[in-house]
Structure 1
């Protein structure tokens, strides 16, 4: 079975330069460097001022058009910075999808977080998700935000794939955390997802957060999975980031939620982290691998 992050198209640097020069000649590219890739996008820094994201898959191209309209509309409603497009690349004969350019946001992916670091992130993250999930869907009329068509919380749909990745991880890394994750996966049963329609980031994990040198939250990036769905999709971050004994502090700010949502959030956290671990191994990203492994242990800790 192929990996879900396998690209359909990769925009190499020469094509990125050609596309930007053709559509935005005013930029006058002085420097350009690839700064990352994800499941869905190839990312370049231009002149150390802008970041351009080019879709790698069809679904990412469709969601890029959502970002173009949605992110400028919601930026003022959120207490943490998000990337807001300033360049709107159009699909063309040279490249079949839209692409976006954003002002560069300072910060780095959180890593080597101490207990104190994690505690410091609780309040800002809770306030951010409370604000995001409180945005009125009615106010988004006319914005092409999709509903969840991927079954992100569908345990039956995702369990077999998660087990397969865990078996591979157990073979490559004889770690207790993977054994514990395999036991969790084997034991989890179907949970009926309650009908809830809120605006969610859709892919909230450490790799899509930026912090400053003091490990303070500065931005939430990569909105390629934004959709209208269940809050548990985003609340997965509570399990992967926050130790069990401090999760109540998050909900003291965000607001109380029910036990079904909490269990779905834990499942989403474990599922996402298993995928990140498999991706990190495939791409030989040691830092991401170690952070995801630590997060998986936290997600599996008792609530």
Structure 2
């Protein structure tokens, strides 16, 4: 695969000297390679040429919209599903949980303000304009709940026995009402997609916009809740300019629980184990 990446680099950047190519990570949809410690080359496993072109256009629109850095495209190869970016500084936030940040949990809370302002700008974008560069993503809550239960039944033996009743109660509860309005969202805003400078406790970028869509804004808050906990969710919300009522909060919690089960199943099957480890570590606060 490294040879394929070198071939693409030679084709699109003929004067660029490639000194190193190394796999950086793999998710549900993408494989990412680091080139010369300065470029990231992302290959989508299932995208179409039109979807690849749409993502490039989306990133261009985001660079005007987002108050936080987003990837700058160097080149795209639509037939192979590849997009190359300049590497943003920082490390994914999931590698720097609150206990590991140099100055402790207070520094994590400092990230809430820029994240809340970022989500305000994102969700406040013109839906009509962003519909040109992002698909509509509407997945009914009853279907999400059914899928989550199917995933859970495959992996429930890995959940500590004392925590299983928390998850079982979730499946007994009715799904929340559907959202009243849809907005432009990142749609996969887990801690692994928030880059931070741990020394300065600042956000240095938001990455992986493959799943960005016109959808329920509660999806963006759900992964914040799942990965960083209810206190950080509330801190982020205090810097968010749009109201979240009780129905919105119910969907945040619902989506967070579904997303945690999805990560647990993925990490215990075909995905990296750290997805499952994080899901188990965050299960108590997500299902409490």
Check whether TM > 0.5: yes
Report the counterpart of residue 74 of structure 2 in structure 1. Answer: 86
**Separation in 2, partners of 1:58, 1:130:** 29
Counterpart selection for 1:99 from 82, 87, 109: 82
For residues 131-151 of structure 1, the C-alpha deviation after alignment (integer angstroms, 9 at most, x for no partner) is 11111224447x3321115x1
1:222 Cα shift?
0.6
Counterpart selection for 2:92 from 109, 132, 140: 109
TM-score, scaled relative to structure 1:
0.83
**Separation in 1, partners of 2:188, 2:233:** 20
Say if 2:119 is the partner of 1:129.
yes
1:102 Cα shift?
0.3
Secondary structure at the counterpart of residue 204 of structure 2: strand
The count of aligned residue pairs is 279
- What is the alpha-carbon root mean square deviation over aligned residues? 2.3
**Separation in 2, partners of 1:219, 1:176:** 38
Where in structure 2 are there 5+ consecutive unaligned residues?
100-104
Counterpart selection for 2:155 from 154, 166, 169: 169
For residues 243-263 of structure 1, the C-alpha deviation after alignment (integer angstroms, 9 at most, x for no partner) is 435544332210321111111
**CA 1:22/1:192 → structure 2, altered by over 3 Å: closer, same or farther?**
same
Report the counterpart of residue 76 of structure 1 in structure 2. Answer: 64
Report the counterpart of residue 250 of structure 1 in structure 2. Answer: 236
**CA 1:289/1:22 → structure 2, altered by over 3 Å: closer, same or farther?**
same
**CA 1:81/1:212 → structure 2, altered by over 3 Å: closer, same or farther?**
same
**Separation in 2, partners of 1:53, 1:248:** 33
Report the counterpart of residue 258 of structure 2 in structure 1. Answer: 271
**Separation in 1, partners of 2:203, 2:277:** 20
Q: Which runs of 4+ in 1 moved over 6 A?
A: none
